[in-house]
Amino acid sequence: MPGEKQDISKLTDDFVYGSLALSPVNATSAGYHEHQGVKLDQKLDDYSPEGIQEQRQFYNGFRDRLALIKPDQLSAEERADYQIIENQLNLALLDLREIQSFRHNPTIYVELVGNALFNPLVLEYAPKEARYRDIIQRLFKVPALMEQARRNLRDAPEVWNRVAQEENDGNLDLIDKTLRAGVPEALKPDFERAASGALGALRDFSSFLKKDLSGRTSDWRLGKEKYDKKFRFTLVSGKTPEQVLAEAEAALKNIRDEMAKLAAPRSVKEALDKIAQQQATPATYMDQARKDLDEATAFVREKHLVTLPNRSNLQVIPTPEFMRGVYSVAGFNAAPALEPQLGAFYWVTPIPTDWPKERIESKLREYNRYGMMQITIHEAMPGHYVQLEIGNNLDPKSRRLLRNIFGNGPYVEGWATYTQQLMSDEGFLNNSVELRMTLYKQLLRAIANTILDIRLQTMGMTEQEALDLMIKDTFQEKEEATGKIQRAQLSSCQLPTYFVGWRGWLDVREDYKKRKGAAFNLTQFHDAALKESAVPMPALSGLLP
């Protein structure tokens, strides 16, 4: 009925822009700069009791509004939007009511400060002087945010505390060096006043983490009840954690068998050890990533695997220090959905030259010539960058924002993992056996991610059992395996998105292929599927022509 269609459209607009107004830092990232006359770029998220209560009221109110919509009377596109909003509401309320990350996770506050200051620096949404005025206003608000954090945090897992301290050092460096070095002359007095208060508050927060909160430790594991709920709302796969775990453990055996066939007559380990010898150095690591990006881009264009976006806005830069706890190797930061002409960033985390020699060598073996190429495919070309750039063309704007900001994780990470297989299947690097072998290793990693997350969070898996899985069963270097345990402890329900999404993309493609028969065209499939942006995978097939 027309009334319901109008309601879901209005509800989508209100949800997207209202939720961004509650999170000004995310609003800047999305390119949404003003809400009802308020300049969001000069504000920080509010974690005071009043701010948290405002969040609760906002999400509860939208849950009541959503209950008035009849999904069966919506179009397929509207049902996909409905499902995204419904799952996002469930996730937000689960966190506010039961998980309560704001009471236990100090990295929330540290990364919020880093993103609040870093994005106006690198996203040229206004002249430099105007953006520095925004940065200065946010700096003035940092002491209040840090006080809110100190009052909210009751306890924290040791690993969350440690990573927060490390990332906060990155914030101090960002303000004290990077931002200070670029301040326009006319704004230097204001900057110094704002920076002085912010730096003092951040140093005090580090001291609080080290001397106070470190004495109030808690468990990073969600436990089965909370995990099952978060898993359902995050993956939207229609499968339980136990079903996904069984599929992952079966897939692990199948991929290992394929690797053994490809490596013969050598062992898999011997084959991987030989591949690992082809590597960059800490000094050439970043340059190699740029060369890999150029090579991958040329191949995608030559094969016309997907219609690439017209914009050329991708930059390869070092991962910001305040994000290196999560992005220990690389990551992707998309252009704002409302300002897609601005920069998109492929982050590559440098290898510190002051690391012990053994640790550096382990990192370079893991991220050798072919390992780094797989990362570049996944994060940039034709992985995350292409997917999000095409998604940034979606209209109407509220739908674009909804699917960009709250999009389905398996769609996003699944596409990036799927493209790693796609590039090898299509003959990249002259049908390289080394690339194929490294692909299998990467797929084992995606499978191990799933097993780790489910078993660590809900089944009492020990750290040693996790290390054995990664090093012995999936051929990961000790350095990589140790870093992955930290990531598994820092997050929940994100690591399974790679495996679930990879399998989901293959299933959707196979279904589309059956429907099209002889008329199936790979490029048309990719273009049509990416045009929809990050909808839940079960909904994607029904949206394709």
pLDDT tens string 357-410 = 998 898 898 889 999 999 999 999 999 999 999 998 998 888 999 999 999 999
Give the pLDDT band (50/70/90) at residue 107.
very high
User: Rounded to whole angstroms, what are the CA distances from 154 to 104, 118, 214, 216, 442?
Assistant: 6, 28, 11, 7, 38
**Separation CA 501–CA 128 (nearest Å):** 39
Give me the chain's average pLDDT, please. 94
Nearest to 162 by CA among 109, 213, 119: 213
Q: For 536-545, what is each residue's pLDDT tens digit?
A: 999 999 999 9
Q: Do residue 211 and residue 252 come from a single domain?
A: no
The percentage of residues in the chain with a pLDDT greater than 90, rounded to a whole number, is 85
Domain boundary among 172, 200, 215: 215
Q: For 258-307, what is each residue's pLDDT tens digit?
A: 999 999 999 999 999 999 999 888 888 889 999 999 999 999 999 999 99
Q: Do residue 287 and residue 202 come from a single domain?
A: no
Full-model pTM: 0.92
Asked if residue 335 belongs to a domain, the reply is no
**Separation CA 17–CA 9 (nearest Å):** 12
Q: Do residue 304 and residue 201 come from a single domain?
A: no
Please, what sign has the CA dihedral across residues 119, 124, 126, 130? Answer: positive
What value does the mean pLDDT take over residues 131-160? 98
Is there a contact between 174 and 322 (Cβ–Cβ < 8 Å)? yes
User: Rounded to whole angstroms, what are the CA distances from 12 to 81, 94, 191, 450?
Assistant: 8, 20, 38, 32
Q: Do residue 197 and residue 305 come from a single domain?
A: no
**Separation CA 530–CA 221 (nearest Å):** 34
Asked if residue 413 belongs to a domain, the reply is yes
Q: For 398-453, what is each residue's pLDDT tens digit?
A: 899 999 999 999 999 999 999 999 999 999 999 999 999 999 999 999 999 999 99
The gap from C-alpha 414 to its chain's centroid, in whole angstroms, comes to: 12
Report how many domains make up the chain.
2
**Which pLDDT value is given to residue 326?**
64
Pairing mode, if any, of strands 314-318 and 38-39?
Answer: unpaired
Q: Do residue 73 and residue 171 come from a single domain?
A: yes
CA-atom Rg of the chain in angstroms: 23
Q: For 297-317, what is each residue's pLDDT tens digit?
A: 999 999 999 999 888 889 998
**Which pLDDT value is given to residue 327?**
78
Q: Do residue 368 and residue 409 come from a single domain?
A: yes
What value does the mean pLDDT take over residues 25-41? 96
Asked if residue 85 belongs to a domain, the reply is yes
Q: Do residue 251 and residue 208 come from a single domain?
A: no
Pairing mode, if any, of strands 38-39 and 330-333?
Answer: unpaired
Q: Do residue 364 and residue 471 come from a single domain?
A: yes
Is there a contact between 457 and 222 (Cβ–Cβ < 8 Å)? yes
Planar angle of CA 491, 497, 503, nearest 5 degrees:
160
Asked if residue 287 belongs to a domain, the reply is yes
Asked if residue 402 belongs to a domain, the reply is yes
Is there a contact between 505 and 421 (Cβ–Cβ < 8 Å)? no
Q: For 462-500, what is each residue's pLDDT tens digit?
A: 999 999 999 999 999 888 899 899 999 999 999 999 999
Is there a contact between 153 and 103 (Cβ–Cβ < 8 Å)? yes
Is there a contact between 117 and 124 (Cβ–Cβ < 8 Å)? no
**Separation CA 413–CA 262 (nearest Å):** 26
Sheet holding 344-348, edge to edge: 314-318, 344-348, 330-333
What is the extent of the structural domain holding 90? 2-215
Distance, first Cα to last Cα, the chain? 23
Q: Do residue 440 and residue 497 come from a single domain?
A: yes
Instruction: Indicate if the pLDDT at residue 323 is higher than 90.
Output: no
Q: For 117-131, what is each residue's pLDDT tens digit?
A: 999 998 999 999 999
